Amino acid sequence: MSVALGFVLGLLSGVVLSFVLTFLEPVQRFLQQKGRATFKEDPVDVHVQTDRAVIWSGLPPWISGRYYFDNALPTDNPPDACVDWSAWSKQHDGRPCGEFELLITIQAKFDVAVVVDTPVVRIVNSRELNGVTATCLAAGGPSVTPRRFEVDLDASDPPMIFFVDEGAESSGPVGFSLTRGEVERFHIWVRAEQAREYQWSLDLPMIVNGREVRMDLGTFVIVGSGAGSSEFLWQEGDWVPYETPTHG
């Protein structure tokens, strides 16, 4: 009797275990697929910083700047530090003139190996301009040359882009490994000289742990350095006419 009962109980246990495993299998597959999908969509966070006060924070005050205004210069005084002019000009509908810097921060959500390919830049729109520019001249000092991609909007469409690391140019790519929470940073410098306003888009293509990821980082505006019909320098509490030195 006890042998028969044990046999029956063993048989029932096997049936129940088989049922449980059969039930859990699709749940397990779903969780695995969900985990892979989440990792595929969000392996890293990418942040774009355009405020020069943040980009150049902690460095000596050697960074000058130029900004374009459509009609007239703002009536209120600009900040003392040149790097603070980007936020000030934005409050008055000003735009970066000649050069526009972006600081890209990549933070890993998982342990990842990342390859950053050359950014994809497209000119969305451009138009001729002839307003005024304001220049802030900082004290001279050694050049600050962070690792960066350089974009020339005047050369062609799509623009020419080069990667610069320790003074050497290349076309990329950039590779690095990050553990969860770690960050990697680099700059993107965009330049324009023609008397035009450029609206341009920026995508960042990457390969993260073998998977292709392309992130839309937004649309930005820069005005070429030749766009201003007149240029002014803030000096001793007043705007004075200024002519950018030419080399040649």
Asked if the model's pLDDT at residue 45 lies above 50, the reply is: yes
Using CA atoms, how far apart are residues 200 and 221, in angstroms rounded to an integer? Answer: 6
Using CA atoms, how far apart are residues 191 and 101, in angstroms rounded to an integer? Answer: 9
Using CA atoms, how far apart are residues 103 and 184, in angstroms rounded to an integer? Answer: 11
Q: Identify the pLDDT of residue 155.
A: 85
Tokens matching residue 168: 């050497």
Q: Identify the pLDDT of residue 246.
A: 57
Asked if the model's pLDDT at residue 47 lies above 90, the reply is: yes
Q: Which of 109, 110, 103 has its CA nearest to residue 202?
A: 103
Give the chain's mean pLDDT.
83
- Comparing 54-63, 101-110, 117-126, 163-172, which segment has the lowest mean pLDDT? 163-172
Cis ω before 43 (30° cut-off from 0)? no
Asked if the model's pLDDT at residue 101 lies above 60, the reply is: yes
Residue range 139-194, pLDDT digits in tens: 666 677 889 999 999 988 899 999 998 666 666 678 899 999 999 999 999 999 99
Q: Identify the pLDDT of residue 9.
A: 46
Q: Kindly calculate the radius of gyration of the chain based on its CA atoms and give it in whole angstroms.
A: 28
Q: Identify the pLDDT of residue 4.
A: 53
Asked if the model's pLDDT at residue 8 lies above 80, the reply is: no
Q: What is the average pLDDT across 223-230? A: 88
Q: Which of 74, 109, 90, 116 has its CA nearest to residue 220?
A: 90
Residue range 134-154, pLDDT digits in tens: 999 886 666 778 899 999 999
